[in-house]
Amino acid sequence: MIPARGGIGAGVAGIERDPETLLPVVADEALASAAAAGDAGDRVVVLLARGDYVAAGELVAEARLADPQDLRLRMLDADVVRASGDPHRAITRLRGLLEEFAGTDREADLHELLGVLHHTTHDHLAAAHRFRRTVDLRIAHGEGPEAVEATRRLLRAAERRAGGVR
């Protein structure tokens, strides 16, 4: 469950990002259970938030067999690698995806996840850089205020951990 200070939207009902670790956690079990009944991507996010990394890895691998080019599944695959203890390999995978999807409407999502992964490796300056880029891209693409504000909260968390350096 989320700490009392409130989480940051994670894009799946019942799941939020912990404001300190920036990792997904269950905020509302009933909503998370309902989301877990949805598509494979939502189920993977719920499994990651619950800490069931083995099941998340199996599910994302199975789903990618059915649709190997699905970007969300490819991103979740990298996040499973992070959760399984290899954040640097996950960062390398995401950098490759960023090259592939640069200039698309999905670039912001890739920068945001890269920021989270940098945060988990304690490279808070790199995380802040990625989150700043994400905010700019979300605004440029006309994304809703909730998405922009969620990324701004991620940025503030990274800047706080980096000592406020911009």
- Sheet-wide strand order for 8-9: 8-9, 15-17, 24-26
DSSP state of 19: T
Please tell me the predicted confidence (pLDDT) of residue 165: 52
pLDDT at position 164 over 70? no
- Whole-number pLDDT of residue 130: 98
| E strand segments, the chain | 8-9, 15-17, 24-26
pLDDT, tens digit, 9 for 90 and up, residues 120-130: 999 999 999 99
Enter the pTM of the model.
Answer: 0.91
Model pLDDT, residue 166: 52
| pLDDT tens track for 54-108 | 999 999 999 999 999 999 999 999 999 999 999 999 999 999 999 999 999 999 9
Please provide residue 160's backbone torsions phi and psi, each rounded to the nearest 5 degrees.
Answer: -60, -45
CB 107 within 8 A of CB 97: no
- Beta-strand ranges (E) seen in 10-124 are 15-17, 24-26
